[in-house]
Structure 1
């Protein structure tokens, strides 16, 4: 099992950032460009336990995963969603996106990823894994979300 946890500050309000992680597929595609579509297969009244079919484009291949929501919090100053899915029938993946308001225009974004191989032999390869992909994701998400926020602010002034 390999676990990564990283955080970054976003110069946007928490409510603006939240829809990039839950609820708005168009905005979600801005930080997850390989996401093609998602739809609820099972939607529970408390969001926890809901199952979403997500489609990803990887080159010319479209893959689908059933993602189960394991944690969901939507409070004014703290929002989080944790999802679990099986990647390529090899890795049990748990991802968590946490947003914590620092003030009216700053949000701490924490990303946690836990990769647990189905085959114990794959654990050996994880020993050499770095956090470079996680850091790149955080930076790309920050740039996209802040750029969209800046454009929205400019449009409201005009």
Structure 2
């Protein structure tokens, strides 16, 4: 099992950042450009336990994953969603996106990824994994969300 946890400060209000992680597929695509679509397979109340079918573009192929929501918090100053899915029938993936309001204009984004191989031999390869992909994702998410905020805010001023 390999776990990565990183955080970054995003210069937008928490309510502006939240739809990029939950609820708005057009915003989600801005930080997850390979996501093609999401469809609810099974809706639960509360949201924990809801199952989504996510279509994901991987080169010329479109892959589909069943994603189960394991954690969901939507408080004014703290929001979190944890999702679990099986990647390529080899790794059980758990991803968590947490947003903590730092002020009315700043949000701390915490990303956690846990990769657990179905085959113990694959654990050996994880020893050599770096967090470069995680750091790049955080930076790209920050830029995309802040740019969107800036563009939205500029339109409102006109």
Unaligned runs of 5+ in 1: none
List, as ranges, runs of 4+ consecutive aligned residues in structure 1 with deviation greater than 3 Å: none
Tell me how far apart the structure 2 counterparts of residues 59 and 123 of structure 1 sit (CA, whole Å). 26
Tell me how far apart the structure 2 counterparts of residues 129 and 87 of structure 1 sit (CA, whole Å). 16
User: Alpha-carbon deviation of 1:52?
Assistant: 0.3
Q: Deviations over 1:95-143 (max 9, x none)?
A: 0000000000000000000000000000000000000000000000000
Tell me how far apart the structure 2 counterparts of residues 8 and 27 of structure 1 sit (CA, whole Å). 19
Number of aligned residues = 158
* 1:39 corresponding residue in structure 2: 39
| TM-score, with length taken from structure 2 | 1.00
User: Alpha-carbon deviation of 1:45?
Assistant: 1.1
Q: Does 1:81 align with 2:81?
A: yes
* 1:99 corresponding residue in structure 2: 99
* 2:61 corresponding residue in structure 1: 61
Matches within 5 A, 1:9-48: 9-48=9-48
